[in-house]
Amino acid sequence: MRVLLAEDDPNISIIAKISLEKIAGHEVTVIDRQATPGAETSFANGGQISVSHAEPWANPGAPLKLLQWLGREDAPLLFRLRADARQWLWGLQFLRECTPARTRHNIRQIVNLGTYSRAVLQQLRRDAGLDYSQRTQGILHFYTSAKEFDAALAPAAQMRALGCERQVVSADEAVRLEPALRHIRPQLAGATYTAEDESGDANAFARGLAQRCEAAGVKFLMGHHITALREVAGQIDHVELTDREGRYQRLRADAYVLAMGAFSPLLAAPLGLRLPIYPAKGYSVTMPVKNAAMAHQVSLTDDEFKLVFSRLTGPQGDRLRIAGTAELNGYDRDLNRVRCEAIVRRVEQLFPGAGDTAQAQFWSGLRPATPSNVPLIGQSKLPNLYLNTGHGTLGWTHACGSGKSVARIVSGLAPEVDFAFVGDSENRARHGLQHA
């Protein structure tokens, strides 16, 4: 069977290609508009495999925080109102997901998929011999606000009940785990630590995996722009695209996987599929380590400011990667200097002199956010069109598990993880996947 993967973010769907090859021997073709793998949302993300980062943006405390953040250009979550019906609809769906019951349900989905995905990634790393500046020292969530720390205890307990060992630790224990936090010890209210979580360079991971996929027979069409998915008689007949020279082409396959990140709804809408995905612009800062003694070793999450910190030591040198925040402003990718400078300012507050801020490189990418933070994986209402998209917060964390799962679904096999896959009426309605 020939399978076409229409993709925008290779760290999600490359896994599907290698899994499809491995599971059923399918002929797999990848279509990517970029010249190299991992050049979109994977290019400079936070670099965490963070099962413990499972509390969705939509939670009972979110509406009040959003009100408090209104008008703040440096707000961790900036909802920049536009004359865009899709944005307003997404916002209403977001508020619906903020109830305690919905939050508990969504945490369960996120943790189950994350735990499975992390195990798949670890096995894949061993089997393929991948090296991507990975660190297996766990992830430490720290809190400089007692209120934020107290609010984290219940979600952490739920995660532990689901098998994610997110342990509550004292401020002193946090400093022991990561001595670079000693500078802010008086401000630390507490922390949580998940030893099984990891970090690394997602872009290097995607490129390394792409090379191994190509060696296994996967065909990559880089620099090709998909213009439409065409339906005939209730299923996808072909994909229309332009190649590197701008020439139009048609490609046909037996099955199609839509994995185009924030751009997925634009391709799905003409087919009558409304995907509850809206672009959330995230930012990152990458800088060389200047003072190794002040720089962190363990990957960190600053929940109060919605930032993650990773240290990438590899062929490109010793670097700090700080990423986070979300700006809901359509498909705009312009760098907001206020938000970039706010990230640098927080780094200097926490780890003064650790990074060379004069050489800071700023980046932004569009994360495909669902209102619930739960991705859309499975079969659409069109029998030969499959979804692997909506990985807005934990794209790399969920990549390997979602890729393997959609590969099994395409191959007619049951997924191996307890997750609300789309494809049946109950889950389709829950995700808002209805024909227009």
Cβ neighbourhood burial of 347 (10 Å; 0-12, 13-18, 19+): buried
Closest C-alpha among 417, 411, 419, 418 to residue 19: 411
Say how many C-beta atoms besides its own lie within 10 A of residue 172's C-beta.
Answer: 12
pLDDT of residue 4: 73
pLDDT of residue 427: 53
pLDDT of residue 19: 56
Closest C-alpha among 312, 326, 324, 325 to residue 355: 312
pLDDT of residue 418: 97
Directed axis angle between helix 10-24 and helix 202-215, to 10°? Answer: 30
Whole-number mean pLDDT of the chain?
91
Closest C-alpha among 285, 283, 297 to residue 344: 285
E-strand ranges in 349-431 read 361-369, 376-379, 385-389
DSSP string, 182-199: GGGGGG--EEEEETT-EE
Tens of pLDDT, residues 221-280:
999 999 999 999 999 999 999 999 999 999 999 999 999 999 999 999 999 999 999 999
- 102-130 per-residue burial string, b: 16 or more CB within 10 A, e: under 16: bbebbbbbbbbbbbbbbbbbbebbeeeeb
Give the chain's radius of gyration (CA, Å). 21
Closest C-alpha among 191, 397, 179 to residue 297: 179
pLDDT band at residue 428 under the 50/70/90 scheme: very low
Tens of pLDDT, residues 136-149:
999 999 999 999 99
Angle subtended at Cα 403 by Cα 213 and Cα 363, rounded to the nearest 5 degrees: 85
Sorted by where each starts, the structural domains of the chain and their CATH numbers stand as 64-84+133-198+279-369 (3.30.9.10)
Whether the pTM exceeds 0.85: the reply is yes
- Of the chain, the end-to-end C-alpha distance in Å amounts to 30
Closest C-alpha among 73, 79, 84, 88 to residue 335: 73
pLDDT of residue 71: 78
Tens of pLDDT, residues 178-199:
999 999 999 999 999 999 999 9
Longest dimension (CA), the chain: 66
Tens of pLDDT, residues 5-23:
776 654 444 554 555 555 5
* Three-state secondary-structure class, residue 317: strand
pLDDT of residue 379: 97
